[in-house]
């Protein structure tokens, strides 16, 4: 259980650190990867991924 919580926390840190108010490097990488049709789609996916990881972390802490 502790390993899973650590792994989710690490993923959360990796997702949140590059997302600054001035420049979102992770979003730029997502957009340039070619996996998404446009910039708006990459924003939506990154937001869902970030929020989903935060929720998963809180669930793992509470269980």
Print pLDDT tens along the chain (63 aa): 688 888 888 888 888 888 877 888 888 888 899 888 998 998 899 899 989 988 988 888 887
The secondary structure of residue 33, as a DSSP letter, is T
What integer pLDDT is reported at residue 41 of this predicted model?
Answer: 92
For residues 44 and 49, what is the distance between their CA atoms, to the nearest angstrom? 9
Contact 46, 27 (CB under 8 A): yes
Could you tell me which of 1, 43, 38 has the C-alpha nearest to residue 19?
43
- The radius of gyration of the chain's CA atoms, rounded to the nearest angstrom, is 13
Q: What does pTM read for this prediction? A: 0.75
* Domain range annotation of the chain: 2-62
């Amino acid at each position: 259980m502790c390993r899973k919580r650590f792994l989710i926390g690490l993923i959360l840190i990796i997702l949140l650190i590059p997302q600054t108010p001035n420049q979102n490097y992770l979003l730029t990488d997502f957009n340039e990867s070619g996996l998404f049709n446009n910039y708006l789609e990459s924003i939506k996916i990154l937001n869902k991924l970030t929020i989903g990881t935060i929720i998963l972390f809180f669930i793992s802490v509470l269980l």
